[in-house]
Amino acid sequence: MKTQLKGIAEKSLQVAPANKRAQFAKDLDKLISGDYVLVPKEPTQKMLNAGHIIMNSVKGSDVHSATNAKRRECYKAMIEAAQEASL
């Protein structure tokens, strides 16, 4: 896995602007070390369900579509904040 990431990184670094390359290298180091994890831009249903369980301790409570919509907005905001922080 680490070898694959390094290969992908090398190809990506060749086409990125210098400041992006430097940040990408730092982020890749954190990914390889385990400080970062890869997550999808859109949360999966399993992720939404996990969030529901944490935020609603009442067992058996239903997940409503409006609740999922709010969790999707929250998740997207967190992804955007993480991307802005790495610029």
Question: Does residue 71 contact residue 42 with C-beta atoms inside 8 Å?
Answer: no
Residue 37: its pLDDT value, please?
Answer: 84
Mean pLDDT of the chain: 79
Opening angle at CA 46, ends 60 and 42, nearest 5: 135
Query: Is 15's pLDDT higher than 80?
Result: no
Confidence of residue 54 (pLDDT cuts 50, 70, 90): confident
Query: Is 27's pLDDT higher than 80?
Result: yes
Q: Can you give the pTM of this predicted structure?
A: 0.57
Question: Does residue 2 contact residue 32 with C-beta atoms inside 8 Å?
Answer: yes
Choice among 22-26, 38-42, 48-52, 56-60 with the minimum mean pLDDT: 56-60
Cα–Cα distance, 4 to 70 (Å, whole number)? 36
